[in-house]
């Protein structure tokens, strides 16, 4: 017979196994896509930010060392959804790496901008939780940072920052 291919049992089993793996991969990718779609539909705000976290000093402890020169900013996909802030490694991840309740946020404010390699200016803000965990967030987009600050202040019911005569800002009610 012309065009007929004969496969050994081992080759046939190998192809079946490969097909099964591809079907599993397709299922996983569909689940990721559905998850991203759901997150984007239901999120109040989402996007990639550079994040680093710090713990506040406990009463009686010396202040933390100044680590401004430490470049430990990591890109994270941050999602504000319902009463919670979620931190994903990637936008396609099915589970967040970390989360915090809006009710646990006690302070939100601006931080000085900094310059990374390639002369990229990063605009910064922070989120402080009642447990003393401080998330420092940055983006090259000032508009994105302003959006996060505005939405978090609104959702957490914080007083907006007051502008000083020199154009800098100071969080109202914070020393």
Q: Please check whether residues 31 and 65 belong to one and the same domain.
A: no
Distance CA 67, CA 117 (A): 17
Range of the domain at 14: 7-42
pTM score: 0.69
| Co-location of 64 and 20 in the same domain | no
- What local confidence, expressed as pLDDT, does residue 116 receive? 76
The reply to whether 18 falls in a domain is: yes
CA quadruple 82, 154, 130, 113: dihedral positive or negative? positive
3-state secondary structure at position 101: strand
3-state helix, strand, coil in the chain (%, to 5): 30, 35, 35
> Does one domain contain both 16 and 74?
no
Q: What is the pLDDT of residue 174?
A: 41
Number of Cβ atoms within 10 Å of the Cβ of 123: 21
Residues 114-172 pLDDT 10s: 887 777 899 999 999 999 999 999 999 999 999 999 999 999 887 555 545 555 555 44
Identify the CATH number of the domain in which residue 81 sits: 2.30.29.30
The number of folded domains in the chain is 2
- pLDDT value, residue 67: 61
In whole angstroms, what is the distance from residue 56 CA to residue 117 CA?
28
Place of tokens 């401080």: 134
Query: In the prediction, which pLDDT does 175 show?
Result: 37
């Amino acid at each position: 017979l012309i065009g007929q291919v004969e496969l050994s049992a081992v080759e046939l089993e190998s192809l079946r196994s490969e097909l099964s793996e591809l079907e599993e991969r397709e299922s996983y990718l569909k689940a990721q896509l559905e998850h991203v779609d759901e997150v984007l539909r239901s999120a109040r705000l989402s996007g990639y930010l550079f994040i680093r976290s710090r713990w506040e000093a406990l009463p009686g402890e010396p202040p933390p060392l100044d680590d401004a020169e430490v470049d430990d900013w990591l890109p994270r996909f941050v999602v504000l959804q319902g009463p919670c802030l979620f931190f994903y490694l990637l936008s396609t991840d099915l589970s967040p790496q970390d989360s915090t309740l809006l009710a646990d946020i006690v302070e939100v404010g601006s931080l000085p901008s900094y310059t990374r390699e390639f002369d990229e200016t990063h605009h910064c803000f922070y989120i402080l939780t009642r447990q003393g965990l401080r998330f420092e967030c940055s983006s090259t987009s000032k508009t994105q940072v302003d959006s996060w600050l505005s939405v978090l202040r609104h959702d957490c019911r914080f007083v907006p920052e007051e502008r000083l005569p020199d154009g800098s800002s100071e969080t109202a009610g914070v020393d």
